[in-house]
Structure 1
């Protein structure tokens, strides 16, 4: 009998509760018109999943499977040409629904949601089989392993919008990327999936990418991935240290990609060029931050960004395919029903141990599609 990973409802206030994981048996779904049935091979965690377990994320579900990042094989196709041509193909799931292409945000915000443990849409990658609309899939880049393919969707999409759409501006990326090559980019909090994706995208675009972390070991690993430099943000003078690392011919930052908030404006305003951009995809340091008059005088642009559209997801996957980018995987555990090991992945997120994505291997890509009928 197929299984799904969900959370169990227990009493507790948001932020204090920690919903336990549970495995439930579910019937094998059947694809309808223009839908496909996917045998899920790997699924990956995001910070969002931890927030769901703490009831710190809106619109959660106790019935729908967790996890928004998934990779698998299409094993059955419903009626319709869009579905039929995917039969037997390796695919990655679009991690959200309800945002097609509008550059400013979802066309109808009430219909937008990330999948996985969400009340609005039943889809989730934390299960043996998933029925998905055929137009909510992308062919997996052939150079990716099963864990790497699951590690890509949500963080890749978020980083793409934060760096490319918001950081450089829509239309700034040409096919040759000459328009942004040589620009200086700061990516804060390296080690998380979004930050690592932004680093990899920036390096592939020919940018000089600098990073921050609280860990010297993570800074070294980032340099191995192509970062030109980095500083520990626990040092009181990290902004001055970063200024000393910038190239003489371009001694300023063009873009900051940040997921913490806090004092990022105060720390980077002196480093940014006039008209430079701070692109913020999260505020883990707190829900408020200061905006300085100095930033106003330098025409600095502060741009909020979250997730991304279906069109941006397609562009991101194609970029990964073209540049042979491999998402960074921190750790893989085997078995969807191995709850102790899966809980350990959540602990890695809680304590910031990971460098890259945390992945669950649910089935082998070589496994017979008829298993767990």
Structure 2
């Protein structure tokens, strides 16, 4: 009898403890603030944007209280349209698009508040293997480039001119192929050279479809190539959310800096299900080595000057836009104090 009472008492105590813990858990979950939803539109899905995917995969945004809803809008014009029509809160796209919008006398300009990539992300891929490449080998060739007015194409023209090549006279320049179809066009026989992002460039090289001979990112130097931007009205009313967003990205950058490429590749693999981990790792390391991932997330005055020089060189801008009108560095500086 005594033993039965002892067992019953033990079970009762266990039940009370379990109930108490459950109740405490319910209180904690009620007290915990719900995550703030932030809609992000990325211009394309690219290994070039690895810090963003790391921050998502490792839960850094959630740690800051943010629920990031990411969608790919496939193109600078579509991304900007999505942002301007309130289909997204933040856009990840080339900083030149904010200048195009400003030039159209926008009443609510789009502001660059954090820089993700600090170089061009494309590579020059040759159809034939070239042991000793020099830029003058492009003269007389057919070059499958990117969309006119887009940053990849403007940077490529800037680099070609830097090496004494007139892209509109010294070679046959093809610019009428959609971004998503450029790789397919090259494998189908169009062009002697093509401008490609990773991991496509590495995949082509591994499969013998092409050979990487140069990096436009290395040749062009520091450029605020891809930035996070939002309408001025959004940043005014959601400044704290923007700062939290930046802190998560910065944490991802720090992790990338001290982590081996294979581990990084495995972390972002869910965002590139059709790409082998080994290819992802080599692509990430290629970008990391050439300094493509912006370490401090700040779009510098020099970078802003360079991008406008590139735009003017390409005939897409006739007058510079003041740095302070379209760039906000306070958000990054406050977030990283």
Instruction: Normalising by structure 2, report the TM-score.
Output: 0.31
Higher normalized strand content (fraction of residues)? 1
- TM-score, normalised via structure 1 length: 0.28
Greater RCO, 1 or 2 (C-alpha within 8 Å, sep 6+): 2
Higher-Rg structure is: 2
